[in-house]
Structure 1
Amino acid sequence: MKTLQNLTGGVWGDSFEDTLLDVVNPATEDVIARLPGGCRADVDRAVAAAVKAQPAWAALPVTERVAHISAWADTVAEYADELADLECREMGKPVGVGRTFIDGAVVGLKASAAQALSYGFEENISHPDGSATKLLRHPLGATAVITPWNFPVAMVLGALGPMLAAGNTVVVKPSERSPLSAVRLFELLDLPPGVVNLVLGDACAGAPLAEHADIQLVHFTGSVGAGRKVGAGTGKLLHRAVLELGGKDPVVVDAGVDPGATAKAVAFGAFINTGQICTSMERIYVHQDIAAEFVEALVEAAGTYTVGDGHDEGVMMGPLVDERQRDTVRRHVAEAVERGATVRAGGVEPDSKGFFYPATVLTGVDDSMLVMTEETFGPLAPVVVVSSFEEGLERAARSRFGLAATVYTRDPDHVAAATRIPAGVVWINQWQGGGPERLYEPAGDSGMGATGARAAYDAATRPASVHIAARTAS
């Protein structure tokens, strides 16, 4: 049984803590590895290594930092199949799905790092009196990335590019539920020792990392409850936090769209990765004029999402990550049915080992049910029929979450109206669209702190102005 180790200052080593946690394959329920529970001493050692390495890393020309990151990305691309296999073993994602997201993350890492080459780390402004101001953006120092279990490779790569390219060093704490691929990712690392460090464990490692006095920025992706604790910890230190938390993303389906094609697109957004995506489609509002056709097509599409071990050919949906996550899905469905909702597809678990749950479609739901108010994070598509597009928009906005939203419409006026949805990202007629220039900040309980493109560099640097008097400037 393999016991995973931490990476500190370029050296792999055991934790100071003897407690071990199990890594469980959710398709077989077998223990496949163990990792340390983590402790403050592990964090202190990793942060010290990051602090020590940071001045030399920041002193490199930005072109060299970007070249280092790009070379690592190329190495990761060569091992994408292996990393996708590890993700399947540790959290259930079908290998093909995992490979797609890892490939995208590698491209994203290279693109986000390359943005450093055009970012304004230094700008000069001349004034009419002959004086000048130099605007500088300095790296923050040692930073932290705490990632969730659902995309253990992609989430790490997505956060690291701007932080590293800006001259910061990083301590990464992956989820204790999916650490295998993160460990392998850093075995492939080819950066100077201490630039990136890895600490394993649960909250016993995460909490002291988020609250460490020498960590200047915490980039956290996870639950609302944990995010509030991270924000409180960084706030006490007057340090920065970028928090991407839960979502209950709405979909508004307008009259006039193709109900069959749209239903297939919505099924993908609701069921891919077994619904375990923070931007999964979790609330569906469909116009009454096409509701019957749309629901029938959605039910038909749900039936094509075959459930099984993600290593098996033809499997569209793997298991949920663990029994706790499946319990959440069960509870949400049971509460909805008890209050009058109808199960149109799925809803019955297979009689086999593994934390499986089928693609499920519910109708007859209302906005007070758990399936419409709380993040389910499972393969569940609850449908509400609305009398107008305006009603759909209004109900879509009626949530404490504001991560993303998707709208399907052919009406240009409705496209314009969709921008009123209070969310960090609004997709029109294409879920998950957008390029590397995209930037956003979640609304409501979905988080805080702008990220993406130049906003990620703004978050990873500290601006300073140097004013030079006229005589000096001349």
Structure 2
Amino acid sequence: MQHRDVRDPLTLCHRIGGRWVRSASDEVRHLVNPATEEVIAVYPAGCAADVDTAVAAARAAQLDWRMTPLGDRLRLIEAAADRIERHADELARLECEEMGRPAAIGVTFVVSAAAQLRASTEDARTYPFERRIADGSGTTRVLRRPLGVAGVITPWNFPVAAVVTAIGPILAAGNTVVVKPSERSPLSTSRLIEVLGLPDGVANLVLGDAGAGKALVEHDDVAFVHFTGSVEVGRLVGSVAGHKLRRAVLELGGKDPVVVDADVDPVATAEAVAFGAFMNTGQICTSMERIYVHRDVAEPFTHALVAAAGRFGFGSDDSLLGPLVDARQRDHVHAHVIDAVSRGATVLTGGYLPPGKGYYYPATVLTNVDESMLVMTEETFGPIAPVQVVDSFAEGLARAAASRYGLAATVYTRDPRNAAAAAGLPAGLVWVNEWQGGAARVYEPAADSGLGATGGHAAYDAATRPTTVFAAGI
């Protein structure tokens, strides 16, 4: 990826077989900086011919890559993690330019992604790629073999981390990849694929919009699809994968609930909830989007939540809130607020379109909300904290469970019985007293939030196919 004069848009290319490659089509798209509303890059729309070239490069590289001894593959991936860490400032700056997250905050996520890549290699060292079972007549071996070429389609809200998290186990297992990042975040991913420094053809990049993604999912030589994105597109990806009898892992939308019990410190809990609702401008699939608070602590909790929201400012160098990714996303978020107000919700802070440049939206707290409102039923993906008062912890759990989504849920309680009850929530991830807590995240989204287990050894199960080989008399 070439450097540019800050006054001129950067022209991006695909990266295929270790080289920058121009698109077979002349059709292009423009990338707009969400803070300035200026065009900062021009990138190819992507086409089926581009995908053909990238998949061919990945397929040609896959045999050598899978035959590379596991220890050597893992050392190459660990070296890639080291390079990501060294380039963390640069990658975070590129993320800031394309999707708005303040670079000072983004560095933390890039460094965390590098650590997660290293963790995936540790999982590989303990994964049973081969098991031997002896019996009286011979020996049975269960071999876990790579699938081949994986198509990896990633979202814009964590451009670097989403790619790294997806491809670590896929590559370590011996597959090669073609990555198609969101058309809203091609900058950092382009640089990331270059920074990885993996052998030519092992990690390839095709830029473009939905047409390029469709061509990748439908390609006959793609054996595995890893998709992170919306429910609507995920259904299409899943239907294609099902028709072609192809492996797919789908991590889709969320409408994650929070249940606040009567026995917690309401001020400290509100501070934690503000972080979970407003971090990354609410553009996290596990953002806290539905808050159910016990009536006994509702007043001090809500007061503290409003105070905490006031500390999530925007528009300055040290702001915690960046802009939303684009005008379309801001319109979507504001439409949820307008819908809620029209149905009786109260805006305690925020809830307006700021004047001036940039797709900013203030941290917003709503009360008097209910399930008739979009903000309590559909994914908002913005800095909105809707608070509903409940009369018991059991009611909070019941409302938390009543959703078509099932990605994650968070509960704050000091009661061991209530903590135990929270484990029954229909979600892939359940956190008690600490949002995003814990180390081992092996999970599968429930309901409309996705399909396919991931994390730890489960990611290697997804990236390999078992073959049983029996030999008698040997």
Do they fold alike, i.e. is TM over 0.5? yes
* Deviation, structure 1 residue 349: 2.3
The secondary structure found in structure 2 opposite 1:214 is coil
Q: Detail structure 1 runs of 4+ shifted over 3 Å in the superposition.
A: none
Q: Distance in 2 between matches of 1:300 and 1:35?
A: 42
SS, match of residue 298 in structure 1: helix
Q: Secondary structure at the match of 2:64?
A: helix
User: SS of the counterpart of 1:290?
Assistant: helix
Partner of 2:75: 67
SS at match of 1:466: strand
CA distance in 2, matches of 1:282, 1:78: 34
Q: How far is 1:130 from its partner?
A: 3.5
Cα distance in 1, alignment partners of residues 328 and 357 from structure 2: 15
1:147 is the counterpart of 2:154: yes
Equivalent residue, structure 2, for 1:450:
453
* Residue 226 of structure 1: how far off its partner (Å): 0.6
Deviation of 1:308 after TM superposition, in Å, equals 1.5
- Secondary structure of 1:242's partner? strand
Structure 1 residue 23 corresponds to structure 2 residue 31: yes
Matched, 1:164 2:168: no
Quick one: which of 277, 286, 289 aligns to 1:279?
286
The DSSP-based 3-state class of the residue aligned with 2:386 is strand
Query: What is the aligned counterpart of 1:38 among 42, 46, 54?
Result: 46
Task: List runs of 5+ in structure 2 lacking aligned partners.
Answer: 1-8
Give the CA deviation at 1:434: 1.8
2:327 to 302, 308, 323: 323
1:394 is matched with 398
Q: SS at 1:289's partner residue?
A: helix
2:352 and 2:53 map into 1 onto residues whose CA distance is 48
Choose which of 195, 198, 218 in structure 2 pairs with 1:188: 195
Give 1:58's aligned residue.
66
Counterpart amino acid of residue 124 in structure 1: R
Aligned-partner Cα distance in 2 for 1:403–1:378 = 17
Question: What SS does the corresponding residue of 1:150 show, helix, strand or coil?
Answer: coil
Distance 1:71 1:132 in 2: 37
Matched, 1:347 2:355: no
1:276-313 deviation per Cα after TM superposition (whole angstroms, max 9, x unaligned) = 0000000000000000000000000001101115xx1x
- 2:211 and 2:50 mapped to 1: Cα distance? 10
What TM-score, normalized to structure 2?
Answer: 0.97
- Amino acid corresponding to residue 101 of structure 2 in structure 1: K
Q: Deviations along 1:134-158, whole A, 9 cap, x unmatched?
A: 1100000011110000000000010
Q: How many Å apart are 1:358 and its aligned residue?
A: 0.1
In the alignment, residue 456 of structure 2 is paired with which amino acid? A
CA contact (8 A) 2:81 2:196 kept: no
AA at the equivalent of 2:391: S
Q: Which residue identity lines up with residue 455 of structure 1 in the other structure?
A: A
Classify the secondary structure of the residue corresponding to 1:17: coil
Aligned to 1:137: 144
Matched, 1:370 2:371: no
Q: Structure 2 residue aligned with 1:4, among 4, 12, 19?
A: 12
Aligned pairs for 1:153-302 within 5 A? 153-302=160-309
State the secondary structure of the residue aligned to 2:177. Answer: strand
Query: How many correspondences in the alignment?
Result: 466
- 1:87 matched to which residue of 2? 95
Report the CA distance between 1:450 and its aligned residue.
0.3
- TM-score norm. by structure 1 comes to 0.97
Long gaps (5+) in structure 1 = none
Q: 1:405 aligns with which of 409, 414, 421?
A: 409
1:114 shift after superposition? 2.3
**Structure 1 residues 75-105: Cα deviation after superposition (integer angstroms, max 9, x where no partner):** 1100100110110110000112211111111
CA deviations over 1:173-196 (Å, ceiling 9, x no partner): 001111100011122131111000
1:431 and 1:438 mapped to 2: Cα distance?
Answer: 13
Q: Shift in Å at residue 368 of structure 1?
A: 2.0
Residue identity in the other structure for 1:59: M
1:431 to partner: Cα distance: 0.4
1:350 deviates by: 1.8
Q: What is the correspondence of 1:422-437 to structure 2 with a 5 Å cutoff?
A: 422-435=426-439, 437=440
Please tell me whether residue 338 in structure 1 is matched to residue 342 in structure 2: yes
The aligned amino acid for 2:38 is D
Give the CA RMSD over aligned residues. Answer: 0.8
